[in-house]
Each structure stands twice: as structure tokens, then as C-alpha cells.
Structure 1
Amino acid sequence: MKKSLFILFFILVYSNFSFGQMQNNTLNIGVIENINSIELGENRTLNIYLPEGYDSNAKEEYPVIYLLDGSMNEDFIHIVGVVQFLTMIEKMPKSIVVGIANVDRRRDFTFPTTIEKDKKDYPTTGSSAKFMNFIEKEVQPFIQKNYKITTSKTIIGQSLGGLFATEVLLKKPTLFNHYIIISPSLWWNNESLLAEAPKLLEQPINTKTKVYIAVGTEGKQMENDAKKLAEVLTTNKKLKTTFEPLPKEDHLTILHNSVYKALENLNAK
């Protein structure tokens, strides 16, 4: 693992193989797009990694990976590194990464809660429906219009982002066909989403969808909830669900290793 991390670090810092080239003392790894969101009533930033050889005038199209917590100072840089590395060793196809930068992740990634203490401690929470509409009606159409993409769409979410990715899977499953759900905060609102899951899964899912769920050593509730989610998802034949406990990881360390394993798993032939 340490050797793999060193290799990734070397590539990120020293290579211009697919991260762009030095121009005016600037290392370019992608582009920044801004969306004036009607759904959210604010401007939002998308950090976009384009793979080596990307040409807007060429016929080649690319899968898209949508990354929650996709700010430059959050998960965008190191997840792009994982994607670039797996592409280089031919474990996955060249892909576009769309990092959705945060404004208020508690607001965007959570649905309304009935827990009074959470309402008091986190007063901005509860707007995941709006954020879901933002992705469906604004982000995905923007990417489709402006970039050369296939129909393959992956979402990556950890913690509250994992809660949101789970909510999308259960309520609007066709928004993505690959779900990477890491350490989902299914404890939110007394595990109400987990309780509703069997009923929500009764809606038809028209396309084959792959789901990868991982959890580390993160406390009995989070570990048990992730396992329960995987178990209930296996009841739907349209979902190919992989559950992978990673006991050597904790809440702070799990994302990098789990995304590496998830992308290998979802792209396995």
C-alpha cells in the first residue's frame, strides 16, 4: 500500500503524462466550470479532469465520474490521481472526473430530520432533494452538452456524501449506473432511509446498475448500517452489489483505498 501511495504521489507531483504541462509556472490538470444554478439559487463550481488525449473535436467519448466533496482542497486532486493511475495500468478506461465543489455539504447531502437536536445543531440541513435536482437538471445536462461523454455515469460519495449517494440510488436510481458508497452516514434521522429502503427498491430499475459499498473500522452503527444496506440491495436483481469491509481503514483513511478497489471492481471484465 505504501508503495502504491508513493507511486501515485510521484505521478501527481512530477509527471505531465496526462495531467497537463507546465505553462507559465502553472501545473494544469483540468478546467474549472461555473454554473449559475436555478435549482439551488447560487453559483456552483465544477472541477473537471480531462484524460490524456481528450479532444472536443474527436469522435471518442468518455465515461464520467461525478465526485461529491469535489473541491480542490477536498477529494478532487487525490481521486483524480487514482483514476489517472488505474487508467495508466489499464485497469479502467480513460474517464472524465467532475468534482462538485461544496458550499454547504450538510445542507446538500441530507434530507430533513425529525431529530430536534440535529435541527438545532445543524440548522441548514435538509435540502438533498434540491441538490439531487441540481445534479439531474443542471450538472449532468451541462456535462453532456459541453463534453464528449458516453452513457456511463458513476457517483462517488463518502460519509454524508455516502448518505446522499444512497438516497439517489433508492429514489432516482437511473441518475447513475455505478454507485461508489463509502462509509455512508445512514444513522441520519434514526436510520430512516435504511428503514425505507425495501419499499423504495420496489420501484422498477430499467438498467443494470453496479453498487460498491465499503466501510472501515468506524463504530458498530456505521459498520452494521453499511452491511444492512448491502443486504437489502441484493434483493433487487437489477443491482449488482459488492460489499467490502476494510477493517484496517478508519473514517479518515478509507476513501483513497476504497475508491481504488471500487474502480477496479466496477471496471472488471
Structure 2
Amino acid sequence: MTNTVPYFILFMFGAIGCFHANASTELVVPKAKMADLVVGEQLTFDSKVLHESRTLNIRLPEAYQSRMSETFPVIVVLDGGLDEDFMHIAGLTQFLSFPWIKHIPESIVVGIKNVDRKRDFTFVTTDERDKKDFPTTGHSAEFIQFLEQELMPLLEQQYRVSDIKVLMGQSLGGLLATEILLKHSTLFTHYLIVSPSMWWDNGSLFEQIASSDASFNRTFIAVGKEGKIMEEDATKLHDKLVEKFANKPIGFQFYPELNHGDALHKAAYDGLSFLFKEPEAKTKQPL
């Protein structure tokens, strides 16, 4: 018994010594080089239509440089600034196009940085409260002209864009996307409309559906738990589009666990997956 104690103590000191030796080795910090992390490119140009400078944020798919003979779908994000929706939609698009997921094809993502979205995304209103709350309002016609005469021709000239063109808009952006769908549908082939502000001008845009001759391919509409008006209007938009365009795949999703602030990302995941797959039953999840 008396002989075992010194050996035990020596063993403990030896283990502690080894621990310190290993610890000192592990704490050696390697030299590192710093470089910029590049996730895309940015185009800035003077818009003759809007009479101001506009900025586009672009993310090209991984295969863009290696498959030079191919064209790629383009996804245009209306709230597309770096501090808006460009980054998370670009990342989501990359994720959905991974070979082991393949919900969508590899696509070009184009984010339009906002200057004044209340001005650009709204048409002229007759509602005095709208005019008071949104004093710069009513210039969506000019913005649509900008998309038609400058943005899309620029993208088609600068990049290998396929015939599939997706427009994504939320809130007032959803209002604009709906206006384009009904009045200028050939600008895009697919529409992803989230929490559309259909209440604008006392819901007058609903009146355009019956007379619309829209030629879109597919549309997806979504809304979160955002109050009676927003939820009912999104549902009404879906139902009226299905009634008018019975042969078109039109999806709908209600997210009771999400709200106006966080519905877009989940809606973009579901919406892009829907837009790029074969048409299925035109059913919606009930409110």
C-alpha cells in the first residue's frame, strides 16, 4: 500500500505534463490570408426611363462558366438590395438547385435595389388615405416601362438567359407583380406573389382579372397570419385567377405560423419548387 502512492503521484504528474505539452501544441495559431468573399456581381446604370441611377445585384449559378453553351432561367427579385431580399433568395436558389435536391434548375438571380418602392410598386390611387400615407405614390407604369425597355433587354444582352423568367414580389412588390401579371404578363413566364397588398386603391386591381388576357405559365401565391384583410385578399386573388385561368397551374399556401415579416423565405422555398415542377392539382391549403 505504501509503495503504490508514489507511483500514483508520479503517474498524475506525468499525465499533467503531457496535457500541457499537447495543449501548447494545439494553441499554435496558423498564419491566414484574407481575401474578399465574392457572392455575385453588381451592375449600376443610368435609367433613361426613371431618370436616376439603378443598381442590380446578380448571382450566377455555379455552372454558368463551365457550361458555356447553356442558357439559364432568371429570377428577378423586386426588393433586391443587399440589405433587402437578395442575399437570402440567392442562397435559397443555390440550395434548391443542388444536385441532391434539384427542386429547381440552376438559375440566375437578379435583385433590383430599391430607390423608392412606394413610388415604383404602386399605381395611381383614388383613395385619399393612400395618397396621404404614400405621398410619392402612383408610378408603377414608369417602373414597368423600366423593366420592359431597360432591365430585361439588358439582362438578355449581358447574360445567357433562357425563356424561363420568374418575377418575385412581396407586399407592395406583390401588388406590382400582380399588376404585371394581369396587364403585362409576357414580361415574365412565372410569378411568385407573396402577401400582396391588394387593398391598394380599395382593391381595384381585382377588377382587372375578368378582362385580363394574361399568358403566364405558372403562378404561386402565399400569405402568412397577417390579418383578415391580407389573408382574405390573397385567397381571393388565388380563387379569381383559378376561375379565370382554369388551365393554368396556380398554387397557394397559407402559413399560420408566419407573419408579414417572415413569410417570404418559406414562400420562396415552396413557390420556386412549385413553379419549376410539373403542373399538379390546383388546390390550396384552407385558411
> Which category of TM-score, normalised to the shorter sequence, fits these structures?
0.7 to 0.9
- State the alpha-carbon separation in 2 of the partners of residues 24 and 257 from structure 1: 34
Instruction: Give the equivalent residue in structure 1 for 2:270.
Output: 261
1:27-72 per-residue CA deviation (whole Å, 9 max, x = no partner) reads 1011000121111011100000001131298111100000010000
- State the alpha-carbon separation in 1 of the partners of residues 62 and 162 from structure 2: 17
Instruction: Give 1:245 deviation, angstroms.
Output: 1.1
Instruction: Give the equivalent residue in structure 1 for 2:68.
Output: 58
Within the alignment, does 1:94 sit opposite 2:103 as a pair? no
Query: 8 Å contact 2:182–2:214 — kept in the other structure?
Result: no
Of residues 27, 42, 49, the one that matches 2:59 is: 49
Query: 8 Å contact 1:56–1:147 — kept in the other structure?
Result: no
- State the alpha-carbon separation in 1 of the partners of residues 148 and 201 from structure 2: 24
Aligned pairs for 1:118-267 within 5 A: 118-199=130-211, 201=212, 203=213, 205=215, 209-234=217-242, 235-237=244-246, 239-267=248-276
Task: Say if 1:39 and 1:239 are closer, same or farther in 2 by CA, change over 3 A.
Answer: farther
Query: 8 Å contact 2:186–2:214 — kept in the other structure?
Result: no
TM-score, scaled relative to structure 1: 0.87
Percent sequence identity over matched residues?
48
Within the alignment, does 1:103 sit opposite 2:115 as a pair? yes
- State the alpha-carbon separation in 1 of the partners of residues 123 and 266 from structure 2: 28
Amino acid across the alignment from 1:255: L
Within the alignment, does 1:69 sit opposite 2:79 as a pair? yes
Amino acid across the alignment from 1:112: V
Aligned length: 243
Query: 8 Å contact 1:209–1:238 — kept in the other structure?
Result: no
Task: Say if 1:191 and 1:250 are closer, same or farther in 2 by CA, change over 3 A.
Answer: same
Task: Say if 1:131 and 1:258 are closer, same or farther in 2 by CA, change over 3 A.
Answer: same
Query: 8 Å contact 1:62–1:96 — kept in the other structure?
Result: yes
Task: Say if 1:218 and 1:57 are closer, same or farther in 2 by CA, change over 3 A.
Answer: closer
Query: 8 Å contact 2:130–2:200 — kept in the other structure?
Result: no
Instruction: Give 1:121 deviation, angstroms.
Output: 2.6
Instruction: Give the equivalent residue in structure 2 for 1:34.
Output: 44
Task: Give unmatched runs, 5+ long, in structure 2.
Answer: 1-32, 279-287
Instruction: Give 1:149 deviation, angstroms.
Output: 1.2
Instruction: Give 1:25 deviation, angstroms.
Output: 2.1
Aligned with 1:231: secondary structure? helix
- State the alpha-carbon separation in 1 of the partners of residues 138 and 56 from structure 2: 22
Flag the structure with larger Rg: 2
Instruction: Give 1:90 deviation, angstroms.
Output: 1.4
Instruction: Give the equivalent residue in structure 2 for 1:3.
Output: none
Amino acid across the alignment from 2:271: A
